[in-house]
């Protein structure tokens, strides 16, 4: 029997039914599991999503308390060194005030001493205030102009309803007179109480009244976002270069081509009149920009 099996195996080998090539070993596959060890980055992202707001809010509150405490402490420390109220030698009664009162009209050409101080002696202070208005308008523009186009169009239509005829009739009477009053206050700021800030506020209120009565589309035919930016930028640039020239010539005792003019005349007071006009434009554009952006999210 054993010999027969050997003969049969030899016969199968000769027929090609048997091969001596080594068989491939089956690689045992690892069992897949759902367990996954989280990495440091994944743990940080998970912690950030869960606790970031709390940490930021706590840091914000702590930083606010520290900053407010420092400011309050600095102010209290400064106030402790102020002289007692009512003494004759106080800084409020020094030679600066006396010079303003006695020589302001001669040196600035302005009958209104306040206009001479804020637009001549302290013109850069007023320039800083105008820049603050411009920066505030730009900030509001960047923050509020984020609505989607469809939503914005819907909001614009909401603020263009049918207007009340009574409001229209009153606006038709009041707006021209208000604009004339604002222009008068600006142009006479160096002769009487007024100036660019108050006159610009009156003209800005006139534009707001006109927009409320006749709709934003009527105002947009004249005042657009581009017009607001160009007018404000040109006014501030003119202000900076004009007073820069005035201060440079005065500090270096160089003859200035700008004359203070004759006190009491409308075309006088040197640069005070054009600076009042520039400030009036800035205030007007800023006021209307705030109104348009807070109500319609566009100018």
pLDDT tens for residues 262-279?
A: 777 887 778 888 899 999
Using DSSP, how many helices (H) and how many strands (E) does the chain show? 11, 0
Q: Give residue-wise pLDDT tens across range 60-77.
A: 899 999 999 999 999 999
Map residue 267 onto helix, strand or coil. Answer: coil
Rounded to whole angstroms, the Cα distance separating 210 from 176 reads: 10
Q: Give residue-wise pLDDT tens across range 18-44.
A: 555 555 555 555 555 555 667 777 777
Which DSSP category does 46 fall into? H
Determine the pLDDT at residue 54.
Answer: 81
Q: Is the pLDDT of residue 174 over 80?
A: yes
What are 59's two structure tokens?
């840091």
Q: Give residue-wise pLDDT tens across range 141-170.
A: 887 765 555 555 555 555 555 667 888 888
Segment 81-106 shows an average pLDDT of 77
Residue 113 neighbours by CB distance under 10 Å: 15
Segment 194-209 shows an average pLDDT of 91
Determine the pLDDT at residue 223.
Answer: 85
Which DSSP category does 195 fall into? -
Q: Is the alpha carbon torsion for 60, 64, 67, 69 positive or negative?
A: negative
Burial 14-35 (b: 16+ CB within 10 A, else e): eeeeeeeeeeeeeeeeeeeeee
């Amino acid at each position: 029997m054993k010999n027969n099996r050997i003969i049969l195996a030899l016969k199968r080998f000769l027929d090609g039914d048997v091969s001596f090539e080594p068989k491939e070993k089956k690689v045992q596959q690892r069992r897949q599991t759902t367990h996954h060890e989280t990495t440091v980055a994944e743990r940080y992202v998970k912690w950030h999503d869960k606790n970031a707001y709390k940490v930021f809010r706590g840091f914000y509150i702590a930083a606010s308390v520290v900053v407010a405490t420092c400011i309050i402490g600095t102010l209290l420390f400064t106030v402790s060194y102020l002289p007692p109220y009512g003494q004759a030698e106080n800084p409020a009664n020094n030679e600066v005030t006396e010079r303003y009162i006695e020589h302001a009209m001669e040196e600035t050409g302005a009958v209104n001493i306040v206009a001479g101080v804020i637009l001549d002696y302290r013109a850069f202070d007023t320039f800083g205030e105008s820049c603050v208005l411009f920066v505030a308008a730009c900030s509001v523009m960047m923050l509020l102009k984020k609505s989607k186009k469809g939503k914005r169009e819907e909001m614009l239509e909401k603020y263009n309803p049918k207007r009340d005829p009574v409001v229209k009739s009153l606006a038709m009477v009041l707006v021209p007179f208000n604009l004339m009053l604002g222009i008068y206050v600006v142009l006479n700021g160096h002769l009487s109480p007024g100036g660019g800030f108050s006159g610009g506020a009156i003209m800005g209120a006139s534009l707001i009244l006109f927009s409320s009565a006749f709709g934003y589309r009527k105002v947009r035919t004249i005042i657009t976002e581009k017009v607001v930016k160009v007018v404000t930028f040109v006014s501030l640039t003119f202000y900076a270069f004009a007073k820069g020239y005035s201060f440079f010539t005065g500090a270096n005792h160089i003859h200035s081509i700008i004359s203070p003019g004759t006190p009491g005349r409308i075309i006088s007071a040197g640069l005070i009149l054009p600076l009042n006009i520039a400030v009036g434009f800035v205030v007007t554009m800023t006021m209307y920009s705030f109104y348009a952006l807070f109500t319609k999210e566009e100018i």
